[in-house]
Amino acid sequence: MKKNIFRIAAEAPAELLQKSIELSEKISRKIKSSKSFKNPKKYWNTLGPGLTTGAADDDPSGIATYSQAGAQYGFGLLWMAAFTYPLMAVVQEMCARIGMVTGRGLAANIRTHFPRKILYISTLLLFAANTFNIGADLGVMAKTLQLLNPAWNFTALIIGVTVLLLGFQIFIPYKRYAKYLKWLALILFAYIASALLANLDWANVLQHAIIPTITFEKDQFLIICAILGTTISPYLFFWQSSQEIEDEISHGKTTLEERKDIDAKQVHGMRTDIWSGMFFSNLVMFFIIAACGAILFPHGITNIESAAQAAEALRPFAGDWAYFLFTLGILGTGMLAIPVLAGSSSYAISETFKWREGLSKKLKSAYAFYGIIIISMIIGLAINFIGLNPIKVLIYSAVANGIVAPLVLIPIVIISSNKKIMGQWANKPLTKIIGWVVVAIMSISGIAAIASFF
């Protein structure tokens, strides 16, 4: 049965890659031809939730996954960047449109239109997956800081990072906090720079970026599942829709009816934001795989257990600058991604139980919302002291994501395709098709990840 699961899933990318590239090129042409793109300042102002969501997707756990893909298979999985780009962008756009049109978050919409059991199971698994991810990311950040100075105490570092990130989320006003997240996303350029320092064989790189290399080996397929799980992640769905609402609130739309009043200009800006953010996210994935494929794979370093280990492994071969940039990227993406992970859990749970929610609210007016964030962070911190192997933590997270992704994706596609709910902003036929393709791919990926345990 395992072999059949692996074979079915392995054939899908080869058939869909060309369509993915064509759709990506079409969207890219639209973005480049837009007035906002021609004006850099206006284009930067257009970017917001989509950019930060895309950047948060490249968290330290994701970096470890991409590093392992490059170290173990060289350039063989570079094609995944082009393949996953339109898939994740279409899903994130659906989530954003749901938030903009209804004026409510994703969990609130699922609660309204579907049986509560689906939402309860989804939010529980989401919380579990996000908490494991937070734990892994906190551990990687502390280990990375130790690379800068081995004398620093791990316990003190991880507690310090946890307290610092909690302070950012709880005490900094949302408008200012959102700006910090936006600028922090630029830290991901460090990975592009580190890869360029690796003197890549561009002919070989481009060949593997376009032509899929797929075997039916279990290990390679599990890496593909892990890449899918870390790029098309449920926490991003909830975060995206909620951040669109937070963005509207920050612009004065404080009531539900005001938030429902959207026009073509807003939708166009959202699309530019999301497709740009997802492109940036996948570009970073591409360069991390390329860097590790060019440096670690040829030297036989094929087992990477964390992003910090990847940075350390790169140093002897790529030099201090590549090592420093890779390390800087890990710290920056951790600062960006951990609040997104904790925040998405809190948005989902708060909307499920109709609690007051939102980063735009102060602590005293949303105790339950911030309480979920604090609990997520504390459990994530504790995971680092119970002896779990970092790779096992990531595997548990991937399995939880594999289960919850289809459960959430099905309502997303149905809601965003429903004209009674979405009106003129309902999915077009091609968007709906791609949505169901993503559901199928993530379902197969989730089943395969679970099957790997038996």
State the 10-residue block means of pLDDT for the chain, 454 residues long.
46 53 57 60 80 86 86 92 94 94 92 90 90 89 87 94 91 76 79 79 88 78 84 91 84 72 85 92 92 87 76 74 79 87 94 89 89 95 83 67 84 95 93 94 81 66
Contact 402/442 with Cβ under 8 angstroms? yes
Q: Which CATH class is domain 2-451?
A: mainly alpha
- Rounded Cα–Cα distance for residues 247 and 262 (Å): 13
CA distances, 337 to each of 40, 185, 187, 342, 390 (Å):
26, 10, 12, 9, 17
- Rounded Cα–Cα distance for residues 163 and 148 (Å): 20
- Rounded Cα–Cα distance for residues 88 and 237 (Å): 10
Contact 34/276 with Cβ under 8 angstroms? no
- Rounded Cα–Cα distance for residues 126 and 400 (Å): 7
In order, the DSSP letters of 63-95 are HHHHHHHHHHHTTTTTHHHHHHHHHHHHHHHHH
pLDDT of residue 94: 96
What are the residue ranges of helices labelled H in 353-389?
Answer: 367-383
pTM (2 d.p.): 0.84
Q: Where do the domains of the chain lie? A: 2-451
CA distances, 144 to each of 59, 152, 289 (Å):
13, 11, 19
- Rounded Cα–Cα distance for residues 402 and 132 (Å): 14
CA distances, 243 to each of 4, 38, 44, 96, 301 (Å):
39, 26, 17, 8, 40
pLDDT of residue 252: 74
Residues composing the chain:
454
- Rounded Cα–Cα distance for residues 326 and 64 (Å): 11
